[in-house]
Amino acid sequence: MQLFDTHAHIGLIYDDPIEQLRVVREAKQAYVTRIVSICNSLHDFAKVYPMLKNVAGLYHAAGVAPSEVLAPGKDWMQILETNLALPNVVAVGETGLDYFHKYGDKKSQIELFIGQLELAERYNKPVIIHNREAGKDILDILLDRPPTAGAVFHCYSEDADFAKRAVNLNVYFSFAGNLTYRNARNLHETVLNVPIDRILLESESPFMVPAIYRGKRNMPAYLPATLQFMAELLAIDKEALGEQLWKNSCAFFRLPE
């Protein structure tokens, strides 16, 4: 069985490149053979990418998260364009809207998000979407600008009704370790009600650690715990589910199986 961690903040787990390589090695020992490295800012991308760009099975996304809206960096759009053309950069992100933390103002967040959606269209890249209490605005924006190369609601946090409205927009739904929490009933219901070929799996490390690892810093190597929980929830053989999610991930990021 091979697993694909579609969202891991490798640079936030450890600053040290040697430790980052250890994270990737330990993930492979747990059958997590592909990982997409996520950075919230172009500054962080500039630190992480050069050290990890040639690591087998490790891919990258480049984008500006809503947390950076007040200071995305000088000439951020030109720099992001350059990054999107680099080897093994497979997506734009993470980007999106976050009204929970109230980063800047809504108008500025929306402009930052739309700018990256336009770049994704230009470079034919899928988009990794951060959504925190901003689902309606994100859905309205995607309805107006359907993502041609696809998009994923990473660390999905809405309910099943929202997913049913979004599913026709060429989007996927990615679930992290919080799926394993007892009180995450909205996530459980969503998994049971979305097409299985639209589901992805992520660690969101170092955050959202699966319940059985509570108290520890999350790692891509813990991804099998989330798979196990999802398989039990769906009453599907774990190996069969892992194979399906692998296919979904490769299709989304346009990588060979």
Closest by alpha carbon to 86, among 52, 53, 113?
53
Q: Where are the domains of the chain?
A: 3-253
Q: What is the mean pLDDT of residues 223-247?
A: 98
Q: Could you report the per-residue pLDDT of 16-34, keeping only the tens digit for each?
A: 999 999 999 999 999 999 9
Quick: pLDDT tens for 148-191.
999 999 999 999 999 999 999 999 999 999 999 999 999 999 99
Share of the chain above pLDDT 70, in %: 100
Confidence of residue 119 (pLDDT cuts 50, 70, 90): very high
Q: Average pLDDT of the chain?
A: 97
What is this structure's pTM? 0.97
Which candidate, 22, 4, 5, places its Cα nearest to that of 13?
Answer: 22
Is 130 within 8 Å of 65 (Cβ atoms)?
yes
Nearest residue to 134 (alpha-carbon basis) of 100, 182, 180: 100
| Predicted local confidence at residue 87, as pLDDT | 98
d(CA 180, CA 228): 9
Q: How many CB atoms lie within 10 A of CB 239?
A: 11
Considering the four listed CATH numbers 3.40.1180.10, 3.40.1170.10, 3.40.190.10, 3.20.20.140, the one that applies to the domain covering 3-253 is: 3.20.20.140
The per-residue pLDDT for 115 is 97
Stretch 190-205: mean pLDDT: 98
**CB–CB of 147/169 below 8 Å?**
yes
From residue 130, alpha-carbon distances to 28, 155, 182, 234, 240 in Å are 26, 8, 23, 25, 28
Query: For position 37, what pLDDT does the model report?
Result: 98
**pLDDT tens by residue, 75-95:** 999 999 999 999 999 999 999
Which amino acid appears at position 174 of this protein?
Answer: S
Can you name the residues that pair with 201 across neighbouring β-strands? 175
pLDDT at 49: 97
Counting residues of the chain whose pLDDT is more than 90, the rounded percentage is 98
For 90-110, what is each residue's pLDDT tens digit?
A: 999 999 999 999 899 999 999
Residue 116's pLDDT is 98
